[in-house]
Structure 1
Amino acid sequence: MATSVLQPAEFVDNWQAGKTLAECNLRMFDAEDSCDVTFRVGSSGDEIKAHSYVLISRSCVFHAMFTGSLTEKNSVSVPEIAPKHFRQFLLYLYTDDTDIDAQNVTALLYASRKYAITALGAKCRKFLKINLSVDNACVILEAAYRFDENLLYKKVMTLVNNNGEKSLQSSGFMALSQELVDKIVESDDLAAREHVIFTAVNNWAEAQCKRQGREVTPENKKSILGETLMKVRFPLLKPTFLGGEVKASGLLSDSERLKIFDYRDNPGNEIHPFNAKQRPAYNKLPFHDVCRFQPQPMFNGCTSGRHSISFSTSTDVMLIGYELYGSPIFADIYSVTSYLGDEDAVLNCIHDAKDYEDLHDTFDVLWEKPVAIRAGQWYTLEVDMCGYHTWCGTGGRKHVVCDKGSVIFHFRNSDLSKNGTTVFEGQIPSLFYRLG
């Protein structure tokens, strides 16, 4: 009689033991164990496999896709989302958790909307509320624009514009599409000095040349920029910058730069195709002050009336207003009119009479429109103020160095001053300016 041989029982890998539901789902997803759906993702059509049961259990959209009359049979195309971002989306469906960051938040928000995953959408919005910053704004802006997230796009564009200089100097700006670079540079709402805008545009064009495998030449940069180049407001740039950085970039011809120089000396000249209008958002930029006197003023030293001081600067600036002393005894209302001109020549009224309340011993007079101050040229600021006697500054200086030496203000007495204001004492303790 033949003897039967007992075969060992087949080994079973009990990998499920001790794991949570999320951990089991993640293992099935990572191992592609028993998957019955294939997603072809991104422009490259990368394959990512999944389980229809999980998809159906998490999304009404997937439920309709895989069980309804228009059932998808095994393959689903998702060309608009990058594979790494779509994988993060699927991880959320499998585990109720995923890693959200500035690179993927807009893609996940788009996927949550497309597939009706409201809880993930809420997580994305919470992330944006807490983590949206100037540093990552351009990255999120690009994605919001690509995925038609209009509300998010408007919110982020406002952040980019309000923090213009930091946005333009961020790494995210260098990776923007040409269409968005154009929208940012064109905007009146962009709060940035024009030389910062030009530098960002030039750097972006160079980076784009390299991304496209093209040599970095003026011709290639112009080709890439197209109409965006003329949305830089070249007439607002300093002559030294036009003759230095702009010339070196090769983005303007000699005749174009000469036309801008001529326009600066003769503002009535035709300047097309250049835009010479100051961006209104320029007024949102932080301003600097130059303090003429010692911190502690003298008690009750100045009368109301006309006060004048003459000044010049070492570099071009935009003067936006000045500071005045108020009453040393009680809060008062002062009516102030501002005049400015070429030293002791006929002065122009640049700010009609307006009432200001003295609440903290001094008050600021800020103009609606900044005034361009040319380096080396002498100007006289005259203030006609009506109100109670005021504090009086002392210990004035003829020369004041500002912004770590980048701007030097020079002061001298004005013959128009009739109420005791001089270089060394009196009214107008500070001038307010922005760098050009």
Structure 2
Amino acid sequence: MDGDRQENPHPARGTKDNPAKNKAGMTRNMGNTHANARANQRDQHHQHSQRQQQQERQQQQQQGRGGESGAAAGEKASQSSAAKAASLTESRSTGSLPSESPQHNPSSSPQSSKRDSVTSTRSLPVVASNMSSCTLSSAPARAPKTMSSLPQVTIRADNAPGKSASKPGGNNACTGVSANAAKSANSGVASGGSVEEMVDTAESPGGVVSGRDSLLVDNLLAGLAGGDNPAVGSGKPPQNAANAAPFNWQSQKISVKERLAFLYNTDTMADVQFLIGREPNTQLVPAHKFVLSMSSAVFDALFNGGMATSESVIQIPDVEPSAFLALLKFVYTDEVQIGPETVMTTLYCAKKYDVPALERACVEFLKRNLSSDNAFMLLTQARLFDEQQLAALCLETIDKNTTEALVADGFTDIDINTLCAVLERDTLGIRECKLFTAVCRWAEAECIRRSLPATPDSQKEVLQGALRLIRFPLMTVEEFAMGAAQSGLLEDREVVELFLYFTVNPKPPISFLDVPRCCLTGKEQVVSRFCQIESRWGYSGTSDRIRFMVNRRIFVVGFGLYGSIHGPTEYTVNIQILHMDTGKVMGCNDTSFQCDGSTSTFRVMFKEPVEVLPNTNYIACSTLKGPDSYYGSKGLRKVTHESVSSGKVTFQFTYAAGNNNGTSVEDGQIPEIIFYT
């Protein structure tokens, strides 16, 4: 427009003075007007193109598919086009046209136009709008990555030494060659969009690719060469180099349990390590804080509590590596991997880190494998770990198999507290003389452990109060004279005191326990007092009673009673043994029994054996509720029972005064007494 004013400074005067000039000036003005209109049209078109490109860039940024370098290159191209349009507008407005030289005139020839179009295309980087649909058919879909997991690209320019820029790779939907090219273009590795330029830049000293992005360049080169690269040639993604886990391993595990089992004892995503055991048998075990915290309150406090540790390697010297791995195996997979060699250490580990389900599994394993050979060893461990149920089962096993348990190797390895706990029991199934021999053997082993001479004085020292728990009065005088009296473990006054107890009647007070252990030795024995069986013995709620006395100490475990004469029947019954002089109930039981209608006797047992001392009167009682039964006749006043293992036991039966339902020495109920010696 300024050019128009300069060429026609006096339009009105020109019009009046010279019509020809006015016509020529009008023609020139019209030409300039048309040129200006065309320039304005091109400017408007250029502005529209810029707005469209800006909208496309905004859309690309929202979708995460565009790169900064591609946008910069597009903007630079837009500015170049705008500059050329402005130059053309200014030239046309001033009447000076650009040079007619073919190499500078874009419209001079079709060849030059085509060549410049190609050049312009090659000079632009690969942008996200061209890559959104660029997916190799053989490449599997990748899982989305977080920012922390994306690789870092380091760029070093030739004209700016010492400077670098790190930029996380974009969220690119492309895989294979196009995806790698897009990643490199968006990260600023190459200024051009061609594959060759990107590779040249990556390999040149001016552009360095660090970290895992070197795999992208390798994959790209292998793809260009038609190689067998797993990320390009076969469509498989590269493996995770940080862990041993293959890429996309999660897709092969259909359940949470399978995925957790895959992470067990691996470095995959592990965020803590444990150094287990003592030198030289230590082992470094990787783990995951989240998995451990959701399984154990101890681990939760260790990692998330107010005094949570910040150490990446945690030392646990008091746990065996095999036990800790068994704990992790259970935490990750719910599987219990224990054996006879590891069950106790695993139980300790489960107790330490409060995993009750694993504790119960260990205890159940011990119950299933409990025997007389390992009862003492397991008893020590059960007491140490405060496993009361397991300890009770061990003690019950020792009661039933005392002799076998005492000769096992584990007995001499128990501690003094466990030994005292066993000696205090009233239910050991062994004679006291044999128990004393076993205790002496334990004392010798303890002297060796303490590096003491195995003398009587040393044995008394290590036994401490356990010696007072031996019930010497329960021995026979012969057993005491041949064993304990000559052992050197008792003081002289104690030996004299015990000999007086065995020989004098009434017996003097004694400092040792004389409470029977109710031990059942030998085979079960039965004494019968009737010679003949009769029918119809009735019951009205009154007890059948008979008095008896024996010549040596025995343990009565039950009675044999007659059953119904009317066929199979169930009786309810109460049985008792009373001390004749004091009336004290020595033992009783409320129970029932089934009879089949035969003349046989039916066993009715006490809950615990009842000790019967020699030369003392006792009363056997039974109160039955049921139909009429058989009864015995032609009873014997004195019955001697003899066995090879226990010798002779003589019973004397007499009449029990009072209400006895008619039972006497000659006839009635309670035909049998079942006992042990």
Gapped regions of structure 2 (runs ≥ 5):
1-243, 247-257, 596-600, 657-661
Corresponding position: 1:391 with 2:631: yes
Counterpart secondary structure, 1:432: strand
Choose the corresponding residue for 1:299, options 526, 530, 534: 534
Query: Would the aligned equivalents of 1:161 and 1:191 in 2 still touch at CA under 8 Å?
Result: no
Identity level (%): 23
Corresponding residue of 2:117: none
Shift in CA distance, 98/213, structure 1 to aligned 2, threshold 3 Å: farther
* Per-residue deviation, residues 266-324 of structure 1 (Å, max 9, x unmatched): 5663323x223335xx3899982324379x963339899876777646xx433455434
Query: Would the aligned equivalents of 1:246 and 1:252 in 2 still touch at CA under 8 Å?
Result: yes
Query: Would the aligned equivalents of 1:310 and 1:412 in 2 still touch at CA under 8 Å?
Result: yes
1:48-197 correspondence runs (5 A): 48-52=282-286, 54=287, 56=289, 58-60=291-293, 65=302, 69-72=308-311, 74=313, 76-79=315-318, 81-82=319-320, 85-86=323-324, 88-89=326-327, 99-115=337-353, 117=355, 120-121=358-359, 123-128=361-366, 130-147=368-385, 150=386, 152=387, 154-165=388-399, 166=401, 168-169=405-406, 170-187=408-425, 193-197=431-435
Shift in CA distance, 269/329, structure 1 to aligned 2, threshold 3 Å: same
Counterpart Cα distance in 2 of 1:24 and 1:306: 74
* Per-residue deviation, residues 168-216 of structure 1 (Å, max 9, x unmatched): 5244333212222223323457666544543432222222223334333
Corresponding residue of 2:611: 370
Corresponding residue of 1:198: 436
Counterpart Cα distance in 2 of 1:59 and 1:357: 54
Query: Would the aligned equivalents of 1:55 and 1:63 in 2 still touch at CA under 8 Å?
Result: no
1:206-355 correspondence runs (5 A): 206-264=444-502, 265-266=504-505, 269-272=508-511, 274-279=512-517, 282=518, 288-292=524-528, 298-300=533-535, 312=551, 316-319=553-556, 322-326=559-563, 328-329=565-566
Query: Would the aligned equivalents of 1:301 and 1:392 in 2 still touch at CA under 8 Å?
Result: no
Query: Would the aligned equivalents of 1:318 and 1:370 in 2 still touch at CA under 8 Å?
Result: yes
Corresponding residue of 2:227: none
* Per-residue deviation, residues 144-173 of structure 1 (Å, max 9, x unmatched): 3333xx3x2x11232233333425524433
Counterpart Cα distance in 1 of 2:655 and 2:482: 39
What RMSD in Å do the two structures reach over aligned CA positions?
Answer: 5.3
TM-score w.r.t. length of structure 2: 0.45
Corresponding residue of 2:673: 431
1:11-22 correspondence runs (5 A): none
Shift in CA distance, 73/172, structure 1 to aligned 2, threshold 3 Å: same
* Per-residue deviation, residues 215-272 of structure 1 (Å, max 9, x unmatched): 3322222111111211222222332222223235432234312212323435663323
Corresponding residue of 1:12: none
Shift in CA distance, 228/337, structure 1 to aligned 2, threshold 3 Å: closer
Corresponding residue of 1:39: 275
Gapped regions of structure 1 (runs ≥ 5):
1-14, 29-33, 342-346
Greater helix content: 2
Query: Would the aligned equivalents of 2:375 and 2:398 in 1 still touch at CA under 8 Å?
Result: no
Counterpart Cα distance in 2 of 1:381 and 1:130: 43
Counterpart Cα distance in 2 of 1:243 and 1:297: 45
Corresponding residue of 2:106: none
Greater strand content: 1
TM-score w.r.t. length of structure 1: 0.65
Query: Would the aligned equivalents of 1:323 and 1:363 in 2 still touch at CA under 8 Å?
Result: yes
Task: Give the letter aligned to residue 393 of structure 2.
Answer: L
* Relative contact order higher in (CA < 8 Å, ≥ 6 apart): 1
Counterpart Cα distance in 2 of 1:145 and 1:100: 20
Counterpart secondary structure, 2:612: strand
Counterpart Cα distance in 2 of 1:104 and 1:336: 49
Task: Give the letter aligned to residue 318 of structure 1.
Answer: F
